[in-house]
Amino acid sequence: MAAGSWNSWTQGDIVTNTKFQDIQDSIVFIYANDSAANSALTNKVEGTVYFNTTDDELKFWDGSAWVAISGAATFTCDFLIVAGGGGGGKGDGAAQGGGGGAGGYKNSYSTESSGGGGTSETSFTVVKGLNYTFSVGAGGALSGGNGGNSSAFTHLISVGGGFGGYVGGGNREGSAGGSGGGAGSIGSVVFGSNGSGAKLQGFRGGDYSFSSPFTAGGGGGAGSAGSDANNTKGNGLASSITGSSVTRAVGGNGGLLGGSAPSANTGTGGEGRRTSSGNTNGASGIVIIRFATADATITVGGGLTFSSATDGSDTVISFTAGSDTVSFS
């Protein structure tokens, strides 16, 4: 694990030496000067940060020397971060699976919206020479899989979509996530409630119908909640960060007899079904950044799949899979 990389902790995880070292490498240390920092931080890596109490400034290690962040070259960069969509829920004929929730949606481009009713976020100020971790969340597995988180600039994180409620292997409720999974339905028996969405990233899933015809709920989307008791998915949001308007982070329909898998890199939730077969996984997410071409040159680690394009005077980078570090010069 590289220093400063993101680790998604879960209850019961063991803190290994490697993970603890990563946490330690990511701490902002406090020392009087560079000499004191060098003496104490014998295992420092590129990107280690400390606060200089003599000069009252933050400094980072560039691999060979301490550089004052206040004096480092910076530029602003817009971002769209969409997490993986949650898996759809399965049924068994009488039962209906809930729709998967869309991946969390964070957006700073122009005056466009973020998910869950949020406004456009503030563009990120990039420090040249630092390594930032980027990752793209995978789609959640059908019947019980939340989507994977997506991240940019190490600490900007969109939460994976919640899975739709399902039957089999133990009845499960719709899960919370970037957007929440829809509740499942099994006649007059309640086995699942809807999942909630993450604040300013997505909306809740649709709830279960408590009266005939006992339909499931649709998965929540970045733009609206999944509909209660009629299987209808929540809406996504459109962004033109690439130069063309594309809608992403749509919820999954619930309780379908048929349907199709969502398109990759949209963060769309998987569709819930009325059968135990043909259920769908959620779609993978995507991370897109946009900055003035004249401002910087980008270097991308080999663990990330990406493409580069230009739109006017801007460079647009779309990350479609993987996780690794990114730096700018």
Q: In terms of C-beta density within 10 A (0-12 exposed, 13-18 middle, 19 or more buried), how is residue 251 classed? A: buried
* 197 and 313, same domain (yes or no): yes
* 109 and 24, same domain (yes or no): no
Strands 185-186, 237-239: parallel, antiparallel or unpaired by DSSP? unpaired
* 186 and 300, same domain (yes or no): yes
Of the candidates 54, 71, 88, which is a domain's last residue?
71
Of the candidates 71, 87, 113, which is a domain's last residue?
71
* 78 and 50, same domain (yes or no): no
* 144 and 54, same domain (yes or no): no
Distance (Å, whole) CA 207 – CA 209: 7
Query: What residues make up the domain containing 314?
Result: 73-329
Residue 256, domain member (yes or no): yes
* 151 and 296, same domain (yes or no): yes
Task: Count CB atoms within 10 A of the CB of residue 60.
Answer: 22
Torsion of Cα atoms, 30 then 34 then 35 then 40, to 10° = 40
User: Within 13 Å, how many C-alpha atoms sit on residue 6's CB side?
Assistant: 24
* 64 and 81, same domain (yes or no): no
Residue 45, domain member (yes or no): yes
The pLDDT assigned to 43 comes to 84
Residue 22, domain member (yes or no): yes
The pLDDT assigned to 14 comes to 83
CATH assignment of the domain containing 34: 3.40.1620
* 214 and 116, same domain (yes or no): yes
* 171 and 145, same domain (yes or no): yes
Of the candidates 49, 71, 93, which is a domain's last residue?
71
Tell me how many domains the chain contains: 2
* 150 and 242, same domain (yes or no): yes
| Beta-bridge mates of residue 157 | 151
Strands 314-328, 286-292: parallel, antiparallel or unpaired by DSSP? antiparallel
The pLDDT assigned to 96 comes to 84
Residue 11, domain member (yes or no): no
* 22 and 114, same domain (yes or no): no
The pLDDT assigned to 25 comes to 60
Residue 1, domain member (yes or no): no
Contacts of 319 (CB under 8 A, 6+ apart): 134, 136, 286, 287, 288, 300, 304, 305, 306
pLDDT per residue of the chain (329 residues) written in tens, 0 to 9: 344 456 666 777 888 877 776 666 667 789 999 999 999 998 888 888 889 999 888 888 888 889 887 777 889 999 999 999 999 988 877 778 889 999 999 999 999 999 999 999 999 999 888 899 999 999 999 878 999 999 999 989 999 999 998 876 666 788 999 999 998 887 655 555 688 999 999 999 998 777 777 788 899 999 999 988 777 899 999 999 999 999 999 999 988 766 678 999 999 999 988 876 666 899 999 999 999 999 999 999 999 999 999 999 999 999 999 999 999 99
Distance (Å, whole) CA 248 – CA 325: 25
Residue 168, domain member (yes or no): yes
* 264 and 322, same domain (yes or no): yes
